Amino acid sequence: MLRIGVYVCHCGRNIADKVNIKEVVEFAKKLDGVVVARDYKYMCSDPGQDLIVKDVKEYKLNRVVVAACSPNLHEKTFRNACKRAGLNPFLFYMANIRELDAWVTEDPKKATEKAKRFIKAVVNRVKLQKELEVGKTKIKSSVLVIGGGIAGISAALTLADAGVHVYLVERQPSIGGNMAKFDKTFPTLDCSACILTPKMTSVKAHPNITLLTYSEVAKVEGYVGNFHVRVIKKPRYVREDLCTGCYQCVEDCLFTEPVFPSEFDEGIGKRKPVHIPFPQAVPLVPTIDGSMCMWLSARKCPKYCVEACEPNAVDFNMGMEVVEFDVGAIIVATGYKPFDPSKIPQYGYGIYDNVYTSLQVERMLSSTGPTGGEVLLKDGRKPERVAIIHCVGSRDENYNRYCSKVCCMYSIKLAHLIKERSGAEVFNFYIDVRAAGKAYEEFYKRVLSEGVYFVRGRVAYVTDIPESEEEEKEVEKGRLIVVVEDTLLGKVRRIPVDMVVLSVGLEPSEGGEYIKKVLKLSCSADGWFAERHPKLAPVATNTEGIFIAGCAQGPKDIPETVAQAQAAAGEVLSLIQRGEIELEPNVAYVEKEKCTGCGICVPLCPFNAISLKMDENGKLRSEINPALCQGCGTCVAACPSKAINQHLFSREEIIAEITALVKD
Amino acid sequence: MDVEEMLETYFERIGEIPNSDRFIQCIQCGTCGGSCPYGMGTLFTPRRMILAVRAGIVDEVLSSGAQWLCTSCFTCSLRCPSQIPITDAIIPALRELSLLEGNPPEELAAALMNIARYGNSFRESPRKRDKWIKEVDFEVPLISKKKKAEYLFVTECFGAYHRRCKEITKAFAKVMHILGVDFAILGNEERCIGDLVRLCGEFGLFEDLVEKNIRVFEKYEFDKIVTHDAHAYNALLREYPKFGFEKEVVHHTQFLYNELEKLKELFGKLDYTVTYHDSCYVGRRNGIYEEPREVLKAIPGVKFVEMRRIKENALCCGGGGGGVWLDSFIKEHIKERPAESRVKEAASVGAEVLVTACTLDVPMFEDALKVTGLEGQLEVKDISEIVLEAIES
Amino acid sequence: MRICAVLRLVPDLVEELEVEENEVIPFRYMPNERDEHAVEEALILKEKTGAEVEVLGIADPDNEADIDEGLGMAAAKGADKLYKVILDRPSYKRAELAKALAEFLSDKNYDLILTGIQAIDSFAGNLGGMLAKNLGIPYIGGVVEVNISDGEVVVKKELGGGLLAEYRLSTPAVVSIVSAERPLKFVPFTKLRQAMKKAEIEEVELELPEFEGIEVVRYEVPPEPEITLIEGDVEEVADKLIEALKEISVL
Amino acid sequence: MKVLVFGEVIDGEVQNITYELVACAKKLGEPVTLITSDADVSNIDGRVIKVNAGEISPWHYRIVEKVIEKEKPDVILFGNTSCGVDIASQLSANMPVATSAYEVESEDGSIKVKSLSYGGKVIVELKLETPAIVVLNSGSYDAEEGKGKASVEELEIEVEKDSEFIGYIKPAEEDVDISKAEIVVSVGRGIGDEANIEMAEELAELLGGVVAGSRPVIDQGWLPKTRQVGRSGKTVTGKLYLALGISGATEHVEGVKAKNVLAVNTDKTAPIFRISRYGVVADVNELLPVLIDKIKEIKEG
């Protein structure tokens, strides 16, 4: 005998303004199997929940339907209420009459009718629901952190300090990420290296951290609490365990001068095939670039480096190395890459010598950079006039529609530093100055008072084609002309400058793109990793046990990155501390007798939860690992022999729901 | 009209043009104003036009005349970070208001009236549209006689009537003739395709032209349209489908590129240094950048040099958007015509021939040669003329 | 104040004219440009004084339909009333038209009648003055600006070489316009079509009286002037050039 | 045949057209010239009737009517001018008339007139019964032949006035309207440089015309914008368009509607020659000084 209770929520006025609650309740009362129907202003509130608990006991309800908001918000709440009342929480279901109805339906009459339909549908399906049990699994206490920038470093150190073992994997030869390239940081003008280097060395020295640089996460299997990770270490041809970081191999290289563009110096500095990207690198071990090394690429070198190395660390026999381990949780901190401004041809990057990206200028400003901290033009002169163009590749539907958030502040910082180092007049071209952060506005004011010009207008183009005699003289001096509509002046201006700095925006890093595929994580339309909830679960992802930190989630500055990294570490700790976790029971399962072993479902599963296994009769059958299954339903829909079904979303339940929706 | 009515008319019009809802997303960055070849000459850059319309002072924009400065070069639209259809919607709709007020610049008004009356802006008899075919030494087939052809060659008004542009028409027709292409022209049944009419905000006339042209097109059997007129190409490609016309449209640069293997066998040697001007509605608007370059580079003996402002960044000739009919109006607002800056640029990179692919370009640039005194040093030719020369050399 | 503007049709010279000895056959007709200026000036006066403007479109059975667009244009620009006057036969003799029109207008009580100073096909008289004479009211032609105050009309008349003269006339009067004070107002296509659809046109049939004493003997096409090339050394060329200037009576 | 000429006086000056009319009248028969304003009329050839009725006004047609009654002419000649047409058109309401005439002959007691009509595309030959009015285009007859010694009769004729002359409005000096000029000397890019404009101006003065230019010249700022001929400038319609160093782009030619086009260009194939009556193949800058000297000689001699 089914005894169903229906509870209609007003959600304050959110639902009640559009849906005639009274009418809906009366309607619900008349539905087959319904013994009680009620409404309440806030069903999710304590008194609302109590109402359900009381009714379950009093009316001996064996099914509960709540018509309110999206289950994403309050399914848990009401399941718990059912549990308190002694009812298996999976005998409950929600009808969403807020997001799917009241908020999107103009006509109150139609909204009311829609609400009735939804409730009828859910009542119909709840009848078929069965009691389900929640499974549990143990959590491994080690953690994988992907990405060795400031986010990864911060997360790793926080976890390691708490006694958790961390595997920190970094693609590049050294950790440090983009922050290591900066000279100073806004708004305090702290020396970037000074604050980052101690953290980097701590990572290296920490007993709880296994540092894997020049490495890629190749494969991750398993599920929350039980991930199995495979990492590939690329050969750097110098053994980390033996190398002392003496630089002798670099000095003695066949290439007596650095001739290859340095990645770390954003192409403006040069390096040798054997190189340490920067003096503070961690590990301080050279890497030999196989494509440039005359021995590795052509076997044409007397191998001076091998000769030079006293500890015999140079080892050309090194190959790929696979490292495997298990972790309970993963933090993705793959960071960002700067926007490539050559996509915007009118700014002249790659066409004119003295058009640079902001990161290139950061390298110039760095005392360990290619110019030793001087801002110089291509021909070695000091610039007298410099333009800094904001929002390059940001806030632009043609490239990236989002604001990259940090460019305003770093552009202001660069303006200050350029002026300080070169004495040049600096023009900042901006659309809006976004200086929202602690002490940011003050910093903006300070730089303004230093005499940096701010022109409100997005630069239209940079050219060396003069339009007047005066301009001709400027161009002869090697200057470029920045053309902008000064929107405050209401006038198009042509401003000659020696150097143009493009404040490029931030884009998801290539490593991030790669990890996205390895971990099957979802991303926003812009390519950044999607958090589970923008406000309430900002470091969690939709995959249990995987967290995100730093710019992998979206553009951020250093303080925010560090805060988020530490928050992610906190979440991980909270997970690990539990020791075990409950698993959602809405997983798919195979009805063995129907499965033909066709295998269609196997590659479709986004979570690698399905495998083909030989059964006792020697037939191939699909098998779903309930711990891996996230209940997405892809396999259920795809199975040609209808052998896969899903708890809480069985075919019967769904058909019952749809039937009630479409049939009068 | 009072301002209220103007605003209503304005929004109604832009509402009909795709993506105009982005109008309200303008972040006032000024990219448009800076990008505009006439941005220095006006207070009302597109940005300020949008701002003024939003503020309800559309009348002030109109009385400034700024709406007539647009050459529809499409640079602002391409660069606009909010992707606002400035060239296709914001400006033409403002121009429409001026037209409704009855006081567009005189030259333009005359051109529009001529098009309405004679189907061409030249105040020439529609019955003389095919006169050029009597000036060539081969037969140019009329579709009314042939009934069926692979290509319908649309000559458009400049190509049919303008003394200089007619030479381009003849050259291209001859190239097709030599290649043995199955083509025909509409002759006197052709009338203005109307892209400039649309860009000038005379939407009613444009629609009338479109309907009449489609009716003529439907009379005959042909596979695709080929045209050397960049604006005709644009309108047939982008606007006519909205009225139900869905034939393939090929610009003559694409045609020449597609026939390049055959052409290579015919090419003799030329001894020129040439540069190529990306016409707005071939390049920037419709993305044809490489085809004409490939054709030019394939001609033996031709030395190809690039100017600084190329492809997306190419400078407009100033003829588009009705610029050909607004010359004196525009000249009042600017120091130097873009065409003048352009021919100087071409000369400065050592080109002897400035090659274009839009009929408007040639007269605009040839005029500029006279003004800049570069006559004799630089020649302006359409790509089909160079191709024909290479074949005949 | 009630103003009437006369709008005649003339052959569209953009198109070829077929010229036979006893006949000129136009390919099509269009409104006479000077008359369009008269209509424009009438509408300017409407703006200035709030006068009522009525437009008289004149056609004959050969070109009856061609006047519609001109009348539509006038309506789109704000004319209050439109007449379509259809003459019983085509005639080149303006005196005939002037007589017939005068009769038609005699009881209409217009304060001002505006016509174009002339039509491109007139070789047998100019309408304005004849009309005034027939109506027995003052006339002035060659006018480029009209102002009205207190029942008096003050006009600016063009005398050539940039010289203007001002005259005062009492009303009713006939004024022939050379050009309106401002360029013809542009009427967009849609607006014109709407106006043509909406416009109420009163059709009037007029019988032309006979007027004797003028007769076309023949029409002919002037011989195509052929270019005479002058070449040679500078002295020679200059002499020949002077001869040429003499031939076209410039020297 | 008795011919009454309506002589025009503007601002105290007998207009050139008057002499042309007299020249025509002399060819037809015996001229009588009527002058209705005060002016020195002593060099009009033949009989002159002078009625001082103030500045020329449309109502002067009533004076003409009275004189016709008195003189009974066979033909009354008017100039195809602003004032001439005013009077002729009122008179012609009841009298045969030919307008836009350029040739008048008498034939068997009637008048044979040739008119240029349909925008100059058709010559119309008309036969008028006398008395008839002929409105003659200026430039049709040689003014010099109308000059001579006048025998002046002063008359007083009272007629009704229905309009009142207020005054003349003289054009501002700098505003030469090239579209109204009979003789236009126009310079193009072939003129070389600005200094040569002076020569063109000198020539224009000698010919009694004005200087205009094509777009490149205007753009250089060598001449004001008001002097531009072509689509984006003005249309010239006078007797002579002398194109110096102008190649004749479509946009330019659109503005050239003068009766005679005379082009000077080094390039024999220049399109300007296609609309020219005379094509002079020469370098403008070489030709101009020689030409100017020769014309000066003629004028002085």
pLDDT in tens, C196-240: 999 999 999 999 999 999 999 999 998 877 888 898 888 999 999
Residue of D nearest to C119 (CA): D118
Question: For C118-122, what is the mean pLDDT?
Answer: 90
Query: Is residue B40 less than 8 Å (CB to CB) from chain A?
Result: yes
Whether residue B62 contacts residue B94, with contact meaning beta carbons closer than 8 Å, is answered with: yes
Domains D2-156 and D178-300 share a fold: yes
The beta-carbon neighbor of D142 closest among C128, C168, C249 is C249
For C186, the closest of B104, B123, B127 (CB atoms) is B104
- Averaged pLDDT, D46-72: 96
Write the pLDDT tens digit of every residue in A301-353: 999 999 999 999 999 999 999 999 999 999 999 999 999 999 999 999 999 99
pLDDT at B36 over 80: yes
Cα A528 from chain centroid? 5
**Among candidates D220, D233, D249 on the partner chain, residue whose Cβ is nearest the Cβ of B328:** D233
Q: What's the confidence (pLDDT) of residue D174?
A: 62
Range of the domain at B21: 3-103
Beta strand pairing call for D9-10 and C214-220:
unpaired
The fold for domain D178-300 equals Rossmann fold (3.40.50)
The mean pLDDT value for C42-54 works out to: 95
* Closest by Cα among C145, C137, C134 to C167: C145
DSSP A542: S
pLDDT in tens, D82-140: 999 999 999 999 999 999 999 999 988 899 999 989 988 899 999 999 999 999 988 78
Question: What value does the mean pLDDT of chain D take?
Answer: 90
d(CA A394, CA A504) in angstroms, rounded, equals 7
Question: What does the alpha-carbon distance between residue B201 and residue A649 come to, in Å, rounded to a whole number?
Answer: 57
What's the DSSP call for residue B90?
I
| B383-392 vs B290-297: helix crossing angle, rounded to 10 | 20
Closest CA relative to residue A124, chosen from A664, A651, A654: A654
pLDDT per residue as tens digits for the range D138-163 = 878 988 899 999 999 999 999 999 99
Whether C186 sits inside 8 A of B112 (CB atoms) is yes
Residues A505 and A393: their CA atoms lie apart, in Å, by 6
> Residues B143-196: pLDDT tens digits?
999 999 999 999 999 999 998 999 999 999 999 999 999 999 999 999 999 999
Is a pLDDT exceeding 80 seen at residue C161? no
Give the span between the Cα atoms of D207 and A229, in whole angstroms: 100
Please calculate the CA angle D17-D20-D25 and round it to the nearest 5 degrees: 125
pLDDT at A137: 84
Instruction: State the greatest distance between any 2 C-alpha atoms of chain C, in Å, as a whole number.
Output: 71
> CATH no. for residue B45?
1.10.1060
Distance to chain C for D58, nearest Cα, Å? 6
Q: pLDDT tens, B330-341?
A: 877 888 889 999
Q: What would the two tokens of residue A653 be?
A: 């339940």
> Smallest CA–CA separation between A69 and chain B, in Å?
31
CB spacing of B327 vs D215 below 8 angstroms: yes
Closest of A110, A131, A139, A3 to residue A59, by C-alpha = A3
User: B154 and B86, same structural domain?
Assistant: no
Mean pLDDT rounded to a whole number for chain B: 94
In angstroms, rounded to a whole number, what is the distance separating the alpha carbons of residues D246 and D185? 11
Q: What is the number of H-type helices and E-type strands within chain A?
A: 18, 34
Query: What is the DSSP pairing of strand A620-624 with strand A610-614?
Result: antiparallel
* Local structure of A216: helix, strand or coil: strand
Q: What is the pLDDT of residues C58-96, one digit of tens each?
A: 999 989 999 999 999 999 999 999 999 999 999 999 999
CA dist A95 → A101, C101, C232, D140, D141 (Å): 10, 84, 102, 99, 103
Q: Look at D250 and B164 and tell me if their CB atoms are within 8 Å.
A: yes
B43 close contact with A: CB closer than 8 A: yes
- Within a 10 A sphere around the Cβ of A352, how many other Cβ atoms? 18
Provide, as residue numbers in chain B, all residues whose Cβ is less than 8 Å from the Cβ of D254: 122-123
Which residues 97-126 in chain B show a CB within 8 A of chain A?
Answer: none
Q: Please report which confidence band the pLDDT of residue A176 belongs to, taking 50, 70 and 90 as the band edges.
A: very high
Whether B371 and D271 lie within 8 Å, measured CB to CB? no
B13 CB contacts (<8 Å, ≥6 apart)?
B89, B92, B93, B96, B203
Query: Considering B206, B234, B257, which residue would you say is the last residue of a domain?
Result: B257
Average pLDDT over residues A57-80: 94
Q: How far apart are CA B29 and CA A485, in angstroms?
A: 8
Please name the fold of domain D2-156: Rossmann fold (3.40.50)
Do B285 and B362 lie in one domain? The reply is yes
pLDDT digits (tens, 9 = 90+) for A556-581: 999 999 999 999 999 999 999 999 88
Mean pLDDT, residues A117-146 taken together: 93
What is the mean pLDDT of the segment spanning B208-217?
Answer: 97
Spatial distance between the Cα atoms of D15 and D110, rounded to a whole number of angstroms: 28
Strand pairing report for D240-244 and D260-265: parallel
pLDDT, residue D173, reads 64
Residue A211 phi/psi, 5-degree rounding, is -95, 120
Residue-level pLDDT at D253? 83
Question: Taking CB atoms and an 8 Å cutoff, what residues of chain C touch D96?
Answer: 212-214
The closest of A168, A463, A36, D247 to B367, measured between CA atoms, is: D247
Q: What angle do CA D237, D241, D245 make, to 5 degrees?
A: 140
Nearest C-alpha neighbor of D32 from the set D22, D18, D17, D42: D22
> Is the distance from CB of A454 to CB of A430 less than 8 angstroms?
yes
Q: Read off the pLDDT of residues B75-98 as tens digits, 9 standing for 90 and up.
A: 999 999 999 999 999 999 999 999
d(CA B103, CA B121): 18
List CB contacts of B356: < 8 A, sequence separation 6 or more: B276, B277, B279, B317, B362, B365, B380, B381, B382, B383
Reported CATH class of domain C2-206: alpha beta
Tell me which of A72-76, A195-199, B129-133, D228-232 is least confident.
D228-232
Structural domain spans, chain C: 2-206
Amino acid A46: pLDDT? 94
Residue C162 predicted with pLDDT over 80 = no
Kindly report whether the peptide bond that precedes residue A283 is cis, defined as omega within 30 degrees of 0.
yes
What is the 8-class DSSP label of residue D97?
Answer: E
Nearest CA among C74, C54, C41 for reference residue C180: C41
Task: Delimit the domains of chain D by residue range.
Answer: 2-156, 178-300
- Whether residues B138 and B274 fall in one domain: no
Rg (CA), chain A: 31
**Residue A589 identity (one-letter amino acid):** Y
Share of chain A above pLDDT 70, in %: 100
Q: How confident is the model at residue B325 (pLDDT cuts 50, 70, 90)?
A: confident
Which residues face D186 on adjacent strands?
Answer: D212, D243
Q: State the amino acid at position C202 in one-letter form.
A: E
Write the CATH number for B343.
3.40.50
Mean pLDDT of the region A76-102: 95
Residue with tokens 């032609």: C141
Rounded Cα distance between A230 and A447, Å, is 49
Instruction: Please state, in angstroms and rounded to a whole number, the distance separating the CA atoms of residues B137 and B174.
Output: 9
Q: Are residues B191 and B281 in the same domain?
A: no
pLDDT exceeds cutoff 90 at D192 = no
The whole-number pLDDT of residue A618 equals 85
Q: Is residue C151 predicted with pLDDT exceeding 90? A: no
Burial (CB count within 10 angstroms: exposed 0-12, middle 13-18, buried 19+), residue B218:
exposed
* Mean pLDDT computed over B302-308: 96
DSSP structure class, residue A488: T
Give chain A's mean pLDDT.
94
Q: How many helices (H) and strands (E) are present in chain D, helices listed first?
A: 7, 17
Instruction: List all chains that touch chain C, counting a touch as 3 or more CB pairs closer than 8 Å.
Output: B, D
Q: How far is CA D59 from CA C138, D56, D90, D222, in A?
A: 8, 9, 9, 46
| Per-residue model confidence (pLDDT) at position D175 | 62
Residues B241 and B126 in one domain: yes
Residue B333, pLDDT score: 82
Say which DSSP state B382 is in.
E
- The phi and psi torsions of B27 (rounded to 5 degrees) equal -100, 10
Taking each helix axis from N to C end, the angle separating B91-101 and B46-54, rounded to the nearest 10 degrees, works out to: 70
> In chain B, how many domains are there?
3
Residue B366 sits at the chain D interface (C-beta within 8 Å): yes
Domain stop point among B200, B225, B257: B257
Of B230, B257, B284, the one marking the end of a domain is B257
At residue C201, the 3 state secondary structure works out as strand
In 10 A of CB A643, how many CB atoms?
21
Alpha-carbon distances of A20 from A52, A81, A207, B76, rounded to whole Å? 21, 26, 64, 51
Do residues B274 and B243 both lie within one domain? no
The alpha-carbon radius of gyration of chain D (Å, integer) is 22
Residues of B in contact with A395 (CB under 8 A): 27, 29, 81
Query: What is the tens place of the pLDDT at every residue in B222-281?
Result: 999 999 999 999 999 999 999 999 899 999 999 999 999 999 999 999 999 999 999 999
Q: Which residues lie closer than 8 Å to B380 by C-beta, 6 or more apart?
A: B343, B353, B354, B356, B361, B362, B365, B366, B369
- Which candidate, A503, A477, A493, A445, places its Cα nearest to that of A381? A477
Lowest mean per-residue pLDDT among A177-186, B283-292, B293-302, D132-141: D132-141
* Residues linked to residue B249 through DSSP beta bridges, in sequence order: B225
* Distances, alpha carbon B234 to alpha carbons A123, B114, B230, B375, in Å: 58, 22, 6, 31
What value does the mean pLDDT take over residues C24-52?
Answer: 95
pTM: 0.86
Q: What is the pLDDT, as a whole number, of residue C227?
A: 87
> Please, what is the average pLDDT of chain C?
93
Closest approach of chain B CAs to the CA of C196, in angstroms? 14
Which DSSP string corresponds to B107-165? HHHHHHHHHHHHSSTT---GGGTTGGGGGSSS---BHHHH-EEEEEEE-HHHHHH-HHH
Under an 8 A CB cutoff, do D225 and B371 touch? no
